[in-house]
Structure 1
Amino acid sequence: MAPNVISATVEEAPRETHRNTKPLEPVQIVWRNVILFLGLHIAAVYGMYLAFCCASLCAWLYGILLCYASGLGVTAGAHRLWTHRAYKAKLPLRIFLAFCNCMALQNDLYEWARDHRVHHKFAETNADPHNVNRGFFFAHMGWLMAKKQRDVIEKGKTVDVSDVWADPVVRFQHRFYVPLAAFCCFVIPPAVPYYCWGEDWYTCVFGAGFFRYVICLHFTWFVNSAAHLWGNKPYDKYISATESKWVSALAIGEGFHNYHHTFPWDYATSELGYKYNFTTLFIDCMAYIGQAYDLKTASHESVQQRKKRTGDGSYDEILGKKE
């Protein structure tokens, strides 16, 4: 199915372009979350040790497959499908992506979509949940260890997510999220290698469980931190989001962030096809078998005009030519 090419620049919510006129509120640390993340990383380090010292090649291939699957639950599911409505999906694909999203354990689909829409609408302001103006660590993971800012809560109430809640798959996942996420993230991944080919139990639990989980968390977090700090801005030089090939490679396509914040409704999040963008390949494959449809993408003319109007004129290393 060919993508639905759109010439006009439309967004699901107008972006607040004003800069902060008041100082940042002090961060209130949630120590319970600090201790939780500390414990997760200690378990992940032990899992990394076991993975390198004890895991079989089959276990490593399985772990990579898990990373891609849980990543798709965030990139193709929570992000491009439910948050930005960049394409539509039939029930089997939505169920699969909801399952993968549970494996990723990065909040349920409804809350993920709500927070991300707030991020887009109020990017780089006090209402941005992971405001990069607070620094790399806060944008990367610190925001998850602090109470939400008042502006985030107040402005968040102005963002409509009723369309996300209207999906029965989202409502089911939200209702049973805790047991579903625990089972999909920490029970199924270790159980498969243990029972199917006799991998060591501790390697399964700490490797396929904690190490895999924490690695995937950081791959996603780099989109909020590194892809808002370092890189070029060929589409809009007035925003913090940048183009980052290495972040896109780690986050299976989400690192072309300057393009994405300029054209958030484009299902491909890039004009470069499948380069460093496994998620786009996956969505196109789903469209080929009829599970994904109504794929939205920006027209070539719109992209080129936007580059000339607001781009920084930077050299695009991926295309290998000047814009």
Structure 2
Amino acid sequence: MPPFVEEQPIQTEDSFEKLVAPQAAPWKYEILYPAVLGIGYIHLAAIYGLYLAVTAAQWYTLVFSAFTAVAAGIGVTAGAHRLWSHRAYKAKPPLQMLLMIMQSISFQYSAITWAKMHRTHHRYSDTDADPHNAARGFFFSHIGYLLVKSHPEFRKRINLVDLSDLYSNRILMLQHKYTILFSVTFCLLLPTAIPMYLWGESLSVAWHVSMLRYAYTLHATFLINSFAHMFGSSPYDKSIKPTQNAFVSLMIFGEGFHNYHHVFPWDYRASELGNNWLNLSTLFIDFFAWVGWAYDLKTVPDDVISARAERTGDGTNSWGFKTRTKI
């Protein structure tokens, strides 16, 4: 059996043997010019979209764009991340279909590909097998990894990830088979057409404001890979790079409590703060648990959290403030 086959949903970072030796070893970057052009266009269009949002867009368009940004974000956080990458809870088919469509709005691969990369990231976090290895610097972990050919160590290790649970999911396989169709339709075509045909927005404004929303959701995800692996505190495990970062949590629905998440990745809340106003994705899951579409929500007992903080933390609380002195 190959190493690192994920057979149980509950794993901790220190349960994986570190097979990937030198972090950020010398490596020649091979630029992917189509990716540079594509991402470059998205950002240029987003800048123009910001100008149009201030000068020309109708309020309906701005509210609709904000709504689709939130939907895309929850599709990633509650769907691709907590449900399908970490199996932190279970969802009935109607909720899975809804989350699949919301994740398609983000245009961040299919949910299966997203989960495959994310499971690899957790197993080999901040090593050469991590797709967005933070040891290579802020730009690389934030967006640069998309602009160059991936590291050979990553290409080798990603094939060891077990995705049998996802490949047996008909809803995810439908999206995976028609990734471009789903993503283009829900991320680009409908968000452009709806403002045009429902309240008479111009094509240019509708398209470029959609590009602004798309760029925002991309960078919201990127912040977790970069900011939350470099800046902040480590109240649960000071030996790993992921941190608690309040700024990232404010930007991305409570996802910035990243030191906690890497220590307890199976917790459906992705935060020790639980069900509060900041953790929008948790509130979304809680609502559908109340409806009956989400169930088997996994959490970590408070005494386990406290014991781990006492044993391996840096003596800070969730917000980075010192609470005790380590002896």
Alignment TM-score > 0.5, same fold: yes
Tell whether the 8 Å contact from 1:46 to 1:206 is kept in structure 2 after alignment: yes
Return the letter of the residue paired with 2:11: E
2:303 corresponds, among 301, 304, 309, to 301
What does residue 185 of structure 2 align with?
Answer: 183
Q: Distance in 2 between matches of 1:321 and 1:62?
A: 41
What does residue 76 of structure 1 align with?
Answer: 78
What does residue 39 of structure 2 align with?
Answer: 37
Q: Distance in 2 between matches of 1:254 and 1:16?
A: 26
What does residue 11 of structure 2 align with?
Answer: 11
SS at match of 2:299: strand
Indicate the larger mover: 280-289 or 157-166.
157-166
What does residue 284 of structure 2 align with?
Answer: 282
Tell whether the 8 Å contact from 2:316 to 2:322 is kept in structure 1 after alignment: no
Q: Distance in 1 between matches of 2:12 and 2:180?
A: 29
Offset at residue 276 of structure 1 (A): 2.2
Q: Distance in 2 between matches of 1:173 and 1:16?
A: 33
What does residue 218 of structure 2 align with?
Answer: 217
Distance 1:55 1:139, change over 3 A: same
Tell whether the 8 Å contact from 2:245 to 2:256 is kept in structure 1 after alignment: yes
Indicate the larger mover: 150-159 or 284-293.
150-159
Q: Distance in 2 between matches of 1:316 and 1:293?
A: 27
Tell whether the 8 Å contact from 2:228 to 2:243 is kept in structure 1 after alignment: yes
What does residue 246 of structure 2 align with?
Answer: 245
Q: Distance in 1 between matches of 2:68 and 2:306?
A: 37
Q: Distance in 2 between matches of 1:135 and 1:141?
A: 11
What does residue 136 of structure 1 align with?
Answer: 138
What does residue 123 of structure 2 align with?
Answer: 121
SS at match of 1:298: coil
Offset at residue 316 of structure 1 (A): 3.9
How much is the aligned-residue C-alpha RMSD, in angstroms?
Answer: 1.8
Indicate the larger mover: 48-57 or 232-241.
48-57
Q: Distance in 1 between matches of 2:234 and 2:18?
A: 17
Q: Structure 2: any 5+ residue segments left out of the alignment?
A: 1-8
Q: Distance in 2 between matches of 1:143 and 1:299?
A: 36
Offset at residue 12 of structure 1 (A): 7.8
Q: Structure 1: any 5+ residue segments left out of the alignment?
A: 1-8
Return the letter of the residue paired with 2:133: N
Q: Distance in 2 between matches of 1:201 and 1:149?
A: 40
Q: Distance in 2 between matches of 1:275 and 1:121?
A: 30
Distance 1:21 1:220, change over 3 A: closer
TM-score, length of structure 2 as denominator length: 0.92
Q: Distance in 2 between matches of 1:271 and 1:302?
A: 11
Return the letter of the residue paired with 2:256: G
SS at match of 1:143: helix
After superposition, what is the alpha-carbon deviation per residue over 1:60-115, rounded to whole angstroms, capped at 9, x for unaligned? 22111111101111100100000000000010110111111111001111111111
Q: Distance in 1 between matches of 2:144 and 2:316?
A: 31
**How many residues are aligned here?**
313
Alignment of 1:246-265 (within 5 A): 246-265=247-266
Offset at residue 24 of structure 1 (A): 3.4
Distance 1:275 1:244, change over 3 A: farther
Offset at residue 153 of structure 1 (A): 1.1
Tell whether the 8 Å contact from 1:316 to 1:322 is kept in structure 2 after alignment: no
Indicate the larger mover: 157-166 or 297-306.
157-166
Q: Distance in 1 between matches of 2:17 and 2:171?
A: 31
Identity, % of aligned positions: 41
Tell whether the 8 Å contact from 2:22 to 2:128 is kept in structure 1 after alignment: no
TM-score, length of structure 1 as denominator length: 0.93
Distance 1:172 1:257, change over 3 A: same
Indicate the larger mover: 260-269 or 308-317.
308-317
Q: Distance in 2 between matches of 1:316 and 1:90?
A: 32
More relative contact order in 1 or in 2 (CA 8 Å, sep 6+)?
1
